[in-house]
Chain A
Amino acid sequence: MNPSIDPLILGEAADWMVQLQSGSATDEDRRAIAQWQGRSAQHAQAWQRAQAVLGDFNSVPASIAGDTLKRIGRKKSLGRRQALGLLLLAGPATWLAWQQKPWQAWTADQHTAIGEQRNLTLPDGTRLLINTASSLNIAFTDQVRRIDLLQGEVMITTAKDPAPTHRAFIVQTRHGTARALGTHFSVRVGEHSSRVAVLEGAVEMLPARASRGLILKAGEQSAFGSDSVAAVAPLDSSALTWENGMLLAQHMRLADLLDELGRYRRGVLRCHASVAGLSVSGAFPLRETDASLRLLQDTLPVKVSSLTGYWVTLEPR
């Protein structure tokens, strides 16, 4: 998943980490590290990775980390270590502070046409994939990273905030806000509710007129209206494969599948009531919805009838 970094560079990063942590690092070392990071994108990435490793260790209370790791499939006891007690060093503050250019506010309007999907990388490194027929505004300030989702759907992979102070990352819809506590999630705004699906990390849903929100974890999905939150359900990953231009259906009702496909083509796409409940599994291309319809015709007892290309109905065969 991660971009590969030259092992030699990783080795140098490891050397610097040891030097910094050994307690004998000098100001000169720190300057040298800053310079080292600037040598190439891979150097900078290696250093970010090192900070992420430390971040993982710092995010688990010592009383929990040690014991848990010992209980995982390892029988050897660390023994006398415990007698030594816990002696905490200064944590992340001892590491090099981020060195970034002054932050600049950035706003933009984005629209996608029907059937279009667009990738976008924001100045903080966050990646957006904007789905078909969507529009959103990007409003980044010194205080907050905010996406106003007016219509459609967006998949977000947040990056670690490079700004000196941590800014919240939120997606605002007409129903309220979804605040990212983690990394990879999607928001889709509908008429009556906004749907949130979390692939990694967590997202807090805050309906506009509710006093408290609900946190969704990785592998969960839910929806919220202006004053209510729906029950949490396991993530239906099928609905998120649009990221790859495919819809991977698992026991999906034909009518629901057509609703999905319909978002990617102009006109009306519907089915006869007697076949609406047919269960469909399979992989359907979203960029060629005609091919998807032919596939349905080939595998289900239905036929595609089309008055014009604009008005398509699936009927029992």
Chain B
Amino acid sequence: MSSSLNLPIQDLYCEHHGWLYRWLDRKLGNANDAADLAHDTFMRLLTRPGSGGFGSEPRALLTHIAKGLMIDSWRRQEVERAYLETIAHLPEQQVPSPETRWLILEALYRIEAMLRDLPEKTRQAFLMAQIDGLTYQQIADELKVSLVSVKRYMRDAFLACLSVA
């Protein structure tokens, strides 16, 4: 390659694309998915904020991004699977139209990400308030905890949501 082309992303692509693709192919066992994910990894690298240099360990950075993308895509599939199971049990008139389906899936995906790391009880209390619309007192009665505890759960959950959102 010509030495005048000293653009880091180009060099990175030339040197590491083949290797990353083979690594993903081994992980996923699917050449098409591996090609897509390798491509997405470079996309992510290119679009990440403040992409100055790529550090001294470009391979570590690339596998880090690729792993994140793999996990991301598994989680999306998991949310979609759970959604499909749910609507399979709904009466037809309650099944969302194809137009609103993507909106709901996107919202569900974000909600899942916001609540992912919350302790079970906090998550449970928060969902009772945000989804079922219970009052804090009703939640306290239902979970057999004090109103102060419910408020603490809510604060923790809101803070987690705000930190992820």
Assuming the contacts A64-B83, A69-B108, asked whether A21 and B129 have C-beta atoms less than 8 A apart, the reply is yes
Q: Does B67 contact A (CB under 8 A)?
A: no
Q: Which of A54-62, A145-153, A168-176 contacts B (4 or more CB under 8 A)?
A: A54-62
* Cβ 8 A contact of A2, one of B7, B115, B154, B165: B165
Bound-state CA distance A303–B87 (Å) is 58
Residues in A neighbouring B137, C-beta threshold 8 A: 23
Residues in A neighbouring B30, C-beta threshold 8 A: none
Best-buried of B133, B138, B151 by chain A (most CB within 10 Å): B133
Q: Does B61 contact A (CB under 8 A)?
A: no
Q: Are A283 and B79 in contact (CB under 8 A)?
A: no
Q: Does A93 contact B (CB under 8 A)?
A: no
Q: Which of A15-46 contact B (CB under 8 A)?
A: 15, 17-18, 21-23, 46
Residues in B neighbouring A63, C-beta threshold 8 A: 90, 94
Q: Which of A245-267 contact B (CB under 8 A)?
A: 246, 248, 250
Q: Does A113 contact B (CB under 8 A)?
A: no
Q: Does B78 contact A (CB under 8 A)?
A: yes
Assuming the contacts A23-B136, A53-B162, A62-B132, asked whether A237 and B40 have C-beta atoms less than 8 A apart, the reply is yes
Q: Does A141 contact B (CB under 8 A)?
A: no
Q: Are B1 and A295 in contact (CB under 8 A)?
A: yes
Name the residue of chain B whose CB is nearest to the CB of A72. Answer: B82
Given contacts A76-B120, A244-B47, A299-B1, 6 further A-B contacts (CB under 8 A): A18-B151, A22-B154, A50-B158, A60-B111, A282-B13, A291-B7
A-B interface, 3 closest residue pairs, ranked by CB to CB distance from nearest: A71-B82, A14-B158, A14-B159
